[in-house]
Amino acid sequence: MNILPESARVRRPAHRREHLDNGLTILIIEDQRLPAISLTLLLPAGGATDPPGQAGTASLVAGLLNKGSRRRDADSLAVAIDDMGASYSARTGRDSLVVSLAGLSEDFMDLIALLGEITLEPAFPADEFHLLRQRRLHALTRAMDQAATVADWTFSHGLYGEHPYGPPLSGTAASMTNLAETAPEAWHRRLFVPAGSCLAIAGAVPAEQALKAAADIFDSWQGTSPPPVSHPDPVPAARRILLVDRPDSPQAQIRWGHLGISRRDPRHDAAELVNDVLGGGGFSSRLMQTIRSEKGLTYGIHSGFSARLHAGPFQISTFTPTASVGEVLRDIDDLVGAFREGGPTAMELDDARRRLVGGYPLQFETATQVAGQLLEMELYGLPEDTLESYQDRILAVDLGQAADLAHDLLHPESALAVVVGDLSAMGSAPADWGTTETVDMGLLFSARTGSC
């Protein structure tokens, strides 16, 4: 029986949770250990909400928020941030857009006012739009020289097709080129609303002061959430392999996987545990032990479930000398197939439990880390005891349950493989892979496959 020492147990993080009348959730994590504060505004709308043919819009919105407000231009906003020695970031995920400001707690009132100005009053200047769009187009062109990026994008498009999880978050050359100047403002007006959004204030500011300031700045924020758009998960396809030719490349990038689970799936944490044995646990994982340590076919191989609002991918990523592609694909097939049928051993499962349970407290060392954990709960609507019960849930997974989960969640019969490398040096794909298709890298950016 696995017993967790009290000293290693993660308790429910101390925090205060309030709601403004407009639907905005406020999380306050007071921590007086350091004179610092972080503000994080999470919006439950990310790349998956980009309109059809406009992949990259949400990412462009994130990039433009600090490029001018109704009161100040981009340079003035940058000076305001620099004068406080603060840090600013805005990033887009598949399911969310997150804006963060961090600085000294003595500057809290100025920081939260600045966050409100940047997020609620963006001007989306035309010159900044065109400049950022041009930079994105250059970045997309450069990305095509990165085999790993091409492999990831090809895998995502091959797995999801026209589903919103298919396009790169940054968009494609086609979607960026055709994007109207008014698109970011339209996206912001439609989706940047308080209902469902969450503001986390973490650090050395009294809770009452933090709540009052949040209400003063954000209570006037209005807007109604648009009706949710249904996006059924793609129907699993038969086994197939997509090949992307990169002449003279000595290495080949390989992606292997299929649809996984959503973050709300009650099996999520146990799935992480099982995957830790297969390919998530570093050098001790089966994939690393066989394909790297025993055979020397790669320097690294990793697997993981990317859990999202809807079913994310289960993906194995690696690279190998081009001539070894067929052998690596066969080894992945064999290892995943054997693991699906037999599950982990008792020793493997026990080691994985120790890694996950023992490392869990490290995710709560700072108030900002606690805020991140709480924001994930808000985004995905997870149960209130999600954080403090995690270790017990991991320890409760027995050998039979782990084996059942491996069988239920791994599907080599419908796997998609992607190989990016010199096809002339690769030889033939394994005979049992079914459909084999060669993909033209240039077409990844065409109007027809603009959602890649």
Which range, of 267-271, 282-286, 345-349, 406-410, averages the lowest pLDDT? 282-286
Note down the domain range covering 313.
Answer: 240-433
Q: What does the pLDDT read at residue 233?
A: 77
Q: Is residue 86 located within the same domain as residue 35?
A: yes
Q: Is residue 83 located within the same domain as residue 30?
A: yes
Q: Is residue 213 located within the same domain as residue 246?
A: no
User: What are the tens digits of pLDDT across the range 55-77?
Assistant: 999 999 999 999 999 999 999 99
CA distance 37 to 152: 36
Q: Which amino acid is at 371?
A: A
Q: Is residue 423 located within the same domain as residue 343?
A: yes
CA distance 390 to 384: 11
Q: Is residue 290 located within the same domain as residue 401?
A: yes
pTM of the model: 0.92
Average pLDDT, rounded, for the chain: 93
CA 395 from chain center: how many Å? Answer: 26
Q: What's the residue count for the chain?
A: 452
Q: Is residue 149 located within the same domain as residue 274?
A: no
Q: Is residue 194 located within the same domain as residue 278?
A: no
Q: Is residue 275 located within the same domain as residue 202?
A: no
User: What are the tens digits of pLDDT across the range 222-274?
Assistant: 988 777 777 777 777 789 999 999 999 999 999 999 999 999 999 999 999 99
User: What are the tens digits of pLDDT across the range 128-137?
Assistant: 999 999 999 9
Q: Is residue 282 located within the same domain as residue 171?
A: no
Q: Which of 139-143, 220-224, 285-289 has the highest average model confidence (pLDDT)?
A: 285-289
Question: What residues contact 1, with CB distance under 8 A and at least 6 apart?
Answer: none
Q: How many domains does the chain have?
A: 2
CA 131 from chain center: how many Å? Answer: 26
Paired residues of 418 in beta bridges: 242, 255
Higher-confidence residue of 227 and 279: namely: 279
Is there a domain that residue 69 lies in?
A: yes
Is there a domain that residue 229 lies in?
A: no
Report the CATH number at residue 339. Answer: 3.30.830.10
Angle CA 370–205–108, to nearest 5: 105
